[in-house]
Amino acid sequence: MPWLEIKNLMAFYHGIPVIHGVSLQVGRGDFVSVIGSNGAGKTTLLRSISRLVTVKGYIGFDGKDLTRLKPTDVIKRRIIHCPEGRLLFPNMTVYQNLMMGAYLLHDKEKINSGLERVFEYLPILSKRQTQLAGTLSGGEQQMLVVGRAIMGRPKLLTLDEPSFGLAPLMIDAIIDVIQKLNEEGLTVLLVEQNAALALEFSNFTYVLEEGQIISQGSSRELAEDPAVAKAYLGMT
């Protein structure tokens, strides 16, 4: 049984259909990516899983239907969404933002071990604990978003354009952390406009265009597909 299963999904933004009959699967422990141009519906897809938009169809996680749940109920199932644009609390410290990721946890030992794990993977955050989140660089803010997600002890981590606006070295640092988490067994669903990045690090990829899946396959196979290379990798 797939860890995450979406069947014939229709999703709406302000009443306008954005996702049209999308079906996809993510196995437990997989690193799956969804690539597509700006406006393809990638963000709406993740917002559908997090139950932030109106949907029709089926979204299942670990065999349980999510479609009628509230966003807080989705989080309780440890599906953690790293949104586009970071959406931190800029006037709160790095430490306070991290604690917001653990707000559903009541076990101090788990919270402390989670914090240790964040600082192990993202040591810069340990040095910035008392700094206001709004004063961090863009790359450091993205690291904080990932750290906040780790604090929620995710079973499924969904990431929306984590490379957007970052320098190459910072992108490498972010992806390295995501890879390590995946190697530990965390299931990852990444949506990216940077197709080369997504295809390099994920094991399976869906291509989304105008709200529909137009291609899918192993990331290595799609990277070698001439049509995909021409449309998304800038190759002729």
Q: Which residues of 4-36 are buried (b: 16+ CB within 10 A; e: fewer)?
A: bbbeebbbeeeeeebbeebebbbeeebbbbbbb
pLDDT at 121: 93
User: Is residue 81 helix, strand or coil?
Assistant: strand
- Whether 174 is in a domain gets the answer no
pLDDT tens figures, 127-158: 999 999 999 998 899 999 999 999 999 999 99
Do residues 126 and 196 both lie within one domain? Answer: no
User: What percentage of residues in the chain have a pLDDT greater than 70?
Assistant: 99
Do residues 219 and 194 both lie within one domain? Answer: yes
Do residues 161 and 230 both lie within one domain? Answer: yes
pTM value is 0.93
Do residues 159 and 52 both lie within one domain? Answer: yes
- Using pLDDT thresholds of 50, 70 and 90, give the confidence band for residue 229: confident
Do residues 130 and 161 both lie within one domain? Answer: no
- Whether 170 is in a domain gets the answer no
202-208: average pLDDT: 96
pLDDT at 146: 92
Do residues 64 and 101 both lie within one domain? Answer: no
Q: Is the pLDDT of residue 86 over 80?
A: no
- Using pLDDT thresholds of 50, 70 and 90, give the confidence band for residue 52: very high
CA distance 146 to 136: 14
Number of domains the chain contains = 2
- Whether 23 is in a domain gets the answer yes
- The whole domain housing 2 covers 1-78+155-165+186-236
Say which DSSP state 203 is in. Answer: S
